Amino acid sequence: MRLRNTPTLSRRLSRSLSSLSPVSLYEAQQHLAATAVDHAVIQPNSDGTVDVSKAANAIRIFGFAIMPRMYTGEALEHLESKFVAFTDQTLEDLDEETRCTGEDLQVGSSNGFHEVCLRSPGRYDVSTQFSAFRQDLLEPIEAIISNILGSDHARAFCGVVYSAPGSEDQQWHADALHLDSTHKDANLISSLLALHDIDMSMGPTELAPMTHLLTNHMNNPRVNGIDIVYQHPENLNRPELVGALKDANICMALPAGSLILFDDRILHRGRGNKSTKPRYVGYFSYCRNWYEPTTHFEATRSLYGADKGDAADDGKKLL
């Protein structure tokens, strides 16, 4: 299979991924992954809008799209203030709970609470509610989501990933499994929002381009089975272990307001926070209206006592 690095090829490939064999998907990743920085980093227009089709195609082909400074001014201030205030309060409440019980929070969503869990040492996932945010601020994200998941998509989760100073690199992992041996469009897409400037010392998210084509445990024997969605001390989900092109990974500094949208099947990780400041990254995740994201939040208890069921009261709500 001969592949050329051209925009025309990218458009053609975005329409034909489902027809490619596992071997051809592997060859596509080997040939095109290094071009992701040219095609998947999309500058917003001067009015703050973005080319929806271009962003959606980047997600289909490369597994992600990065839009620097997507949010600015008052819009960014609204998102930052809501996310950070809620996160700080939840972490204060968690600290109080820990002092009262004498039990430290253990890594893994099943060990956490509906409201907060520890993804890796020093890295907290704090859930909040879509209803806390103005609808007009969600519309740019949801336009891209609709292009891939359909206009009847559902809101799955939102919250903040908080990385404390000194937190180490996460292990490579995907967030969702493939459901079919043939490659299909994503069932779950997450967006990450830089709530402040994130330089390299603070540990931006690192992505392995096009590995959403390779993480299918049903057709790629190199994949670590269904454990592709879990982090392991042995780092068994490194991109090269699933056959990905080495040295194609993307990890870049993100100015405040920058947005990353990614197919949850792509291999990714948060880099370690080597700075002296905490790192706050907001997220909004969406899924197809029939899809049940069972591996993301597995807690069975609430930080505030009563079992609240879903982490967010308006999560998994049809739009």
Question: Of residues 313 and 16, which shows the higher confidence score?
Answer: 16
Residue 127 has pLDDT above 80, yes or no: yes
Model pLDDT, residue 299: 79
Mean confidence (pLDDT) of the chain: 88
- Arithmetic mean of pLDDT, 233-238: 86
Going from the N-terminus, what domains does the chain have, and what CATH number goes with each? 7-318 (2.60.120.620)
Query: 288 and 176 in contact (C-beta within 8 Å)?
Result: no
pTM: 0.89
Is the pLDDT assigned to residue 318 strictly greater than 60? no
Which pLDDT band holds residue 297 (cuts at 50, 70, 90)?
A: confident
Average pLDDT in the 101-106 region? 90
Q: Is the Cα dihedral 241, 247, 248, 254 positive or negative?
A: positive
Distance CA 75, CA 81 (A): 10
pLDDT bucket at 10, cuts 50 / 70 / 90: low
Kindly state the helix (H) or strand (E) to which residue 87 belongs, with its residue range: helix 73-101
Mean pLDDT lowest among 15-24, 35-44, 48-57: 15-24
Place of tokens 């053609």: 12
The answer to whether 275 touches 199, Cβ cutoff 8 Å, is: yes
